[in-house]
Homo-oligomer: A and B are copies of this chain.
């Protein structure tokens, strides 16, 4: 492996100058820099990250903590982060916090404290006080996506407003009996998004003075099968007169559409379904949804935190992400005689 010194010797300058030329910090004359760049390329020189990190304290590495990778939101956000990090020359180190509490704790103590990353992005994890403290103790910028924290900045959406918008869409179409599929009471106890989304649904109903009907509320785990089963039960309940259904995630909405099809309920003629996410499968099911631009959320968080790292190191600011209602064919005006 060629080292800095090899380059310095070959270029006839000191190691210090090579370092400056390659990193862009400090002054180097144009001619010298050109010469060094040429020699470095010739020798295929790439600086050792360990040496560079040790000397400078900079890692050029971004940590990402996520609870899982299967659900669309997570891998989409991760894709966004990764693209942005790569563009900036940063590596991405993935910490997959599993359900195992020991693993989770290990991540926060052993792994993160090795000082391997310059910054951390936490995705959709509700942090315990202890965890926030550990994170703060790292002394590096932290940004939260799709979760909330009293003390840490985040790139987030108003998760209540999102379902409120979805619900309002249905109400405006004339639906009066609207159901909801969201997180189970105990689903992801440590993740507030489900309850927020539920709150938005409730709010929309309340604003129109419509009573929330417990029989119209289903619980699922945000996946397609989860939505399928919850919807089948909801739709199988006779006499509800439900003509609209809001799902707190697109995956559940898709599950609901599948359930409706199985039961011979036409979407949107008999039932309007709206989801939340902007899942790529939505197009296939012509699903009306509230797009939360997940990939963008990841990219934005990465950009935000990398800017912080590269500049002073003050704490990044929180950012509110926008979202848009994307109307497709799974929602329609309520039929004249509304009887499900």
Residues of A whose CB lies within 8 Å of any CB of B are 1, 44, 46-51, 53-54, 59, 61, 68-70, 72, 75-76, 78-79, 82-83, 86, 89, 91-96, 98, 103, 106-107, 109-111, 113-116, 224-225, 228, 255, 258, 261, 280-281, 283-284
Chain B residues with Cβ below 8 Å from A110 are 46, 89
Known: A47-B114, A54-B54. 9 other contacts (CB 8 A): A46-B114, A69-B78, A70-B72, A82-B96, A91-B114, A91-B116, A92-B94, A93-B94, A255-B284
Chain A at the B interface: SS class? helix
Known interface pairs A69-B69, A92-B94. Does A49 touch B225 (Cβ–Cβ under 8 Å)? no
Residue contact B82 to A94, C-beta cutoff 8 Å = yes
What are some 14 contacts across the A-B interface (CB < 8 A)?
A: A47-B114, A49-B115, A49-B116, A61-B116, A70-B72, A70-B75, A70-B79, A70-B280, A75-B75, A82-B96, A83-B96, A86-B95, A92-B95, A225-B284
Residue contact A79 to B69, C-beta cutoff 8 Å = yes
Question: In whole Å, how far is A21's beta carbon from the nearest beta carbon of chain B?
Answer: 16
Chain B residues with Cβ below 8 Å from A109 are 46
**Alpha-carbon distance A258/B262, docked complex (angstroms):** 11
Question: In whole Å, how far is A131's beta carbon from the nearest beta carbon of chain B?
Answer: 15
Residue contact A115 to B69, C-beta cutoff 8 Å = no
Question: In whole Å, how far is A273's beta carbon from the nearest beta carbon of chain B?
Answer: 16
**Alpha-carbon distance A76/B68, docked complex (angstroms):** 10
Chain B residues with Cβ below 8 Å from A98 are 83, 86
Residue contact B49 to A114, C-beta cutoff 8 Å = yes
**Alpha-carbon distance A113/B2, docked complex (angstroms):** 11
Nearest B residue to A49, CB-CB: B114
Nearest B residue to A139, CB-CB: B1
**Alpha-carbon distance A48/B58, docked complex (angstroms):** 12
Chain B residues with Cβ below 8 Å from A281 are 224-225
Chain B residues with Cβ below 8 Å from A115 are 1, 46, 48-50
